[in-house]
């Protein structure tokens, strides 16, 4: 009888163990599937000033689209492998900083003194930490230096010589002034100086040079780049990088390195990067305002972004655009002008790139 009871207990114990194992297996599988199925994606912009359709040749348009696709692919590769949204934003922006097509990094515009001063910032929506650099010279990829400010210092913003000194300490890649020279940007400055165009003003007369824009399609004033991302862990990040407005005074700092003006990320709401005349975004605190409307007014991402860009920004004489993504993977890309270099890629891996209102 004792043997029978022992045998019964062993069978019962084995059964319970098996049930626990099966339960644990499917529980782990569910968690893995849940993580795998979480939405993720990245959105970018290359500035709100675009070349007119009549000026945009097929070859030039393809060059823009190709660079945007390459930048998106760089960020997506990180997200797909489970990497962080911060790393994806940095990689995406670096790809655009390395292109002479945009006003950031290599393609930065010139100050009225003929120098290149670079601004950038990045923010982690999970930790609410941020970093930025302003009026930095010789830094090949300002967005990388901004990330180092965020992660390796107790500060949020370093400027001018302080930023350069920190870059040297961190072993960040530096380049001579020649690296940042592009003929189109140099001619644009010279033309403004010759015609005494006020800061932020339009070029009025056309010249025989198809590399230079005309009148309302004065895209050399713009070209700021930015990216926002949502990773598989549900964390948001945002970043922005620029050479600043052409013909700015040396030492001028715009919105791109200012957290809450151009760059903002909060896991509870959204991640935002903006483009346009920085002085207006700094007054409005555009990116933070979009997040605030979601947090305090209960607006959707689309409602908040459209209100801030299409209404509030315009009402104070500003313009430009924004890209944003929320914790559910919803994206928006509103802008006020003829177009905005922009694109996105989501969990499905499909790349979408646009320039004009399509």
- Supply the CATH number for residue 255's domain: 3.60.20.30
Count Cβ atoms below 10 Å from residue 336 Cβ, excluding itself.
15
Degrees, nearest 5: CA angle 162-160-245: 155
Same domain assignment for residues 168 and 310? yes
Same domain assignment for residues 50 and 31? no
The whole-angstrom separation of Cα 278 and Cα 58 is 31
Sign of CA dihedral 299, 222, 41, 265: negative
Same domain assignment for residues 117 and 16? no
What is the pLDDT, as a whole number, of residue 204? 60
Count Cβ atoms below 10 Å from residue 135 Cβ, excluding itself.
24
pLDDT tens per residue, range 14-30: 444 444 443 444 444 33
Same domain assignment for residues 93 and 32? no
Same domain assignment for residues 149 and 277? yes
Same domain assignment for residues 200 and 294? yes
Which residues lie closer than 8 Å to 89 by C-beta, 6 or more apart? 42, 75, 122, 143, 227, 228, 229, 237, 238, 239
What is the pLDDT, as a whole number, of residue 352? 98
140 dihedral zone (left: phi>0; alpha: psi -120 to 50; beta): alpha
Count Cβ atoms below 10 Å from residue 97 Cβ, excluding itself.
26
Same domain assignment for residues 1 and 71? no
Same domain assignment for residues 29 and 93? no
Residue located via tokens 């010139």: 110
Asked if 252 contacts 115 with a C-beta cutoff of 8 angstroms, the reply is no
Same domain assignment for residues 57 and 94? yes
pTM, 2 dp: 0.86
What is the pLDDT, as a whole number, of residue 49? 78
Same domain assignment for residues 2 and 61? no
The whole-angstrom separation of Cα 300 and Cα 295 is 9
Expressed as residue numbers, the domain containing 114 is 41-356
If you compute the radius of gyration of the chain from its CA atoms, what whole number of angstroms results?
24
Q: 71 vs 102, 147, 151, 227, 295, CA distance in Å?
A: 12, 18, 23, 10, 30
Closest by CA position to 119, among listed 255, 307, 293: 255
The whole-angstrom separation of Cα 262 and Cα 256 is 5
Same domain assignment for residues 177 and 30? no
Structure tokens at 9: 């207990």
Same domain assignment for residues 7 and 86? no
Number of domains in the chain: 2
Coil vs helix vs strand at 230: strand
Active-site positions read 224
pLDDT tens for the chain, 358 residues long, are 444 544 544 444 444 444 444 344 444 433 334 456 899 999 999 998 788 888 889 999 999 999 999 999 999 999 999 999 999 999 999 999 999 999 999 999 999 999 999 999 999 999 999 999 999 999 999 999 999 999 999 999 999 999 999 999 999 999 999 999 999 899 989 999 999 988 877 766 443 333 333 333 455 555 899 999 999 999 999 999 999 999 999 999 999 999 999 999 999 999 999 999 999 999 999 999 999 999 999 999 999 999 999 999 999 999 999 999 999 999 999 999 999 999 999 999 999 999 999 7
What is the pLDDT, as a whole number, of residue 212? 37
The whole-angstrom separation of Cα 89 and Cα 66 is 18
Asked if 135 contacts 251 with a C-beta cutoff of 8 angstroms, the reply is yes
DSSP H helices in the chain: 2-36, 58-80, 85-97, 142-152, 160-170, 183-195, 278-284, 286-297, 301-306, 313-315
């Amino acid at each position: 009888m004792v043997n029978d009871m022992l045998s019964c207990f062993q069978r019962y114990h084995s059964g319970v163990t098996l049930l626990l194992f099966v339960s644990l297996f499917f529980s782990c599988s569910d968690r893995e599937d849940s993580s795998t199925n979480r939405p993720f994606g990245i959105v970018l912009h290359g500035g709100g000033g675009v070349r007119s359709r009549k000026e945009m040749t097929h070859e030039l348009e393809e060059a823009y689209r190709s660079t945007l696709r390459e930048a998106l692919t760089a960020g997506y590769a990180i997200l797909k492998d489970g990497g962080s949204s911060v790393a994806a934003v940095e990689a995406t922006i670096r790809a655009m900083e390395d292109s002479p097509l945009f006003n950031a990094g290599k393609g930065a515009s010139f100050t009225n003194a003929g120098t290149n001063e670079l601004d950038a910032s990045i923010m982690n929506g999970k930790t609410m930490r941020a970093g930025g650099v302003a009026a930095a010279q010789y830094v090949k990829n300002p967005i990388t230096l901004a990330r180092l400010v965020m992660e390796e210092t107790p500060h949020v913003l370093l400027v001018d010589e302080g930023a350069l000194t920190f870059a040297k300490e961190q072993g960040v890649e530096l380049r001579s002034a020649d690296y940042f020279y592009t003929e189109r940007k140099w001619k644009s400055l010279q033309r403004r100086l010759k015609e005494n165009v006020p800061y932020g003003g339009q070029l009025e007369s056309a010249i025989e040079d198809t590399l230079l824009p005309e009148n309302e399609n004065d895209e050399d004033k713009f070209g700021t780049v930015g990216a926002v991302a949502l990773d598989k862990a549900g964390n948001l990040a945002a970043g922005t990088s620029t050479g600043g407005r052409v013909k700015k005074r040396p030492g001028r700092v715009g919105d791109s390195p200012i957290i809450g003006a151009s760059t903002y990320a909060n896991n509870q709401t959204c991640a935002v990067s903006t483009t346009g005349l920085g002085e207006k975004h700094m007054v409005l605190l555009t990116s933070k305002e979009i997040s605030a409307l979601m947090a305090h007014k209960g607006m959707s991402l689309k409602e908040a972004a459209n209100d801030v860009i299409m209404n509030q920004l315009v009402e104070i004489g500003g313009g430009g655009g924004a890209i944003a993504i929320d914790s559910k993977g919803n994206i928006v890309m509103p802008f006020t002008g003829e177009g905005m270099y922009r694109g996105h890629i989501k969990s499905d891996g499909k790349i979408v790139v646009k320039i004009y209102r399509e």
